[in-house]
Amino acid sequence: MQIVKHPIQLKSEELTLTNQRAIYWQRERALILSDVHIGKTAHFRKYGIPMPKTILEQDLERLMGLIEHFNAKKLLIVGDLFHAGSNTDLTVFEEWKAKSKDLKVVLIKGNHDRISKSVIERFQLELHAPELVIEPFTFIHDKGENSSSFQISGHTHPGVTIEGKGKQRIKLPCYQITESELILPAFSLFTGLNTKNAPEDCDCYAFTETGIFKV
């Protein structure tokens, strides 16, 4: 896995965008990500659609690589850590988490995070709903309206269409940034891309396996 980094300044804070669908915040020693959707592949398998377990395992392997690269002590997950309640994928996550016992996991509840108190205790999650404020940012899964603070959200799985010669097109995941918000890409590779309805006057930072670039 190649980790490509692009530092940006937001509200006098330095954040590091990565091409691995997460941001590092040095002040908090935290990785910021959204839409992991643990349980999605097991949910599909339950209904007869053959989805390999390796999809989740690859996502978690990428996440561990980021934790080790930055020596992160905290995960700030901006919603949809889980996808569809309890299923066999939770065991995969439990085994992964056991490798990082000192890692603090903070979850800002998303629309898919329909989880019981026992699940919260099982994974020792610090749960916040509907938002968490760590100045100068407000973390919320689905951006709110008319907020006076800078919001960091997820939920929409943002992407951008790049047009090349001969009417060739490629869709890439991206970070969307305006003067008042930052929308994270979905961390899980098993998600679609929403290339429509971008905020007005936003800068899009698209990325590939080898680079990050402003569109």
Sign (positive or negative) of CA dihedral 138, 111, 23, 68: positive
Residue 38, pLDDT score: 87
Residue 164: other Cβ atoms inside 10 A: 8
List the chain residues with pLDDT less than 50: 47
Side-by-side strand order, sheet with 30-33: 5-10, 13-18, 23-25, 30-33, 74-77, 104-108, 125-128
Residue 84, pLDDT score: 67
Q: What is the pTM of this model?
A: 0.91
Residue 102, pLDDT score: 87
Residue 50, pLDDT score: 59
Out of 1.10.357, 3.30.70, 3.60.21, 3.40.50, select the CATH number for domain 5-214. Answer: 3.60.21
Q: In which residue are the tokens 């970070």 written?
A: 175
Residue 1, pLDDT score: 92
Q: In which residue are the tokens 């998600």 written?
A: 191
**Structural domain boundaries in the chain:** 5-214
Residue 52, pLDDT score: 59
Residue 177, pLDDT score: 97
The answer to whether residues 205 and 215 touch, using CB atoms and an 8 Å cutoff, is yes
